[in-house]
Chains A and B, each alone.
Chain A
Amino acid sequence: MKSLKYLLPGLAFLVLAAFFYRGLFLDPRTVPSPLIGKPAPAFDLQELRQPDTRFATADMFGKPAVLNVWATWCAGCKQEHDFLMRLARSGEVPLYGMNYRDERDKALEWLSQLGDPYKAIAYDPEGMGSLDWGVYGAPETFLIDPEGTVVYKHLGPLNPPIWEREFRPRIAAMQGSTQ
């Protein structure tokens, strides 16, 4: 009985080691979004390509939608752009954009060079609209359901495996429930 207390340090260490092992496969830098399951924050910003019109959050409602936060200064955005073009062509889900802390001219030129997959793009040079969405870098991509609830957020460039694994099942679930 008495010798049990001498086992405590060793046991405590083993528990610690288990957490360390688990920790090796986590990324401490990713900040999960507190918006998951909550209504998409409202923004009402100028449209990038047509400054006279506005693009507001509610414009995305009614169908599952994907909002992609991007900028010309972001290397990852260039990486994912091909995939976004393919996604837009497939018509699987409407793709919207938020141009984050960027300049209009640069953004327009970028799009004309690389292609424009977006149905509508919010122009957010000050980052205030994105701040409400908890954006802290680019690229970030949000999945929104027809009622306007944020369902998922992905940090970093999008690619087919991630789309398969994270977005498709959730989109299917949305469409399943509306049937």
Chain B
Amino acid sequence: MRSWPVLLLVTWLALGTTGLQADSILSMNPEETFDTSQQLDRYEALINDLRCVVCQNQSVAESNVELARDLRRITRDMILAGKTDAEIKQFMTDRYGDFVLYSPPLKPTTYLLWGAPAILLLLGAVVMVSVVGRRSGESSDDAERTGENI
């Protein structure tokens, strides 16, 4: 009976360590920590959108440095705490700046970047229309076969 403190201690240690282990497995086991598949999807999307500031060529999802692991854990915790994606991204950029986002935020300095597809397509369409318009008015006799000079 006198050994019960020891027993308690041993039990506590055993539970404590397996608890720790389970937690670290859990922290690598995103599926078992989220309540809904939307949360899991959000998690995956977010950690792939964050750039690992240390290695810089990997996303936080891919990188194995400690900072990346911490950021993954924080992301998970924030999702479970009910934060929105915007709030999580704000947390990251407050500390590391816009550099940490692989998808640059829409702000005046990036209007040109995000507007590029529309602008270029528009320009392309304008060129197409003008060229085709001009060419359809011309005779379609072959201007040359071979060997034409300027």
Interface residue ranges, A against B (CB under 8 Å):
29, 31-35, 101, 126-128, 131-134, 136-137
Contact = CB atoms under 8 A, between A and B. Distances in A.
A29 B99 CA distance: 10
Nearest to B99: A31
B119 interface: no
B18 interface: no
Interface in B74-94: 74, 93-94
Contact of B54 (A32, A133, A136): A136
Contact count band on B: 10 to 19
Interface in B53-111: 53-54, 56, 66-67, 70, 74, 93-100
B66 A101 contact: yes
B97 A136 contact: no
Contacts of A34: 93-98
Majority DSSP secondary structure for residues of A touching B: loop
A134 B97 contact: yes
Q: Quick one: which of B53, B54, B93 has the most chain A CB within 10 A?
A: B53
B68 to A, nearest CB: 10
Contact of B67 (A32, A33, A35, A136): A136
A127 B71 CA distance: 11
A131 B97 contact: no
Contact of A127 (B70, B99, B100): B70
A131 B96 CA distance: 9
Interface in B4-59: 53-54, 56
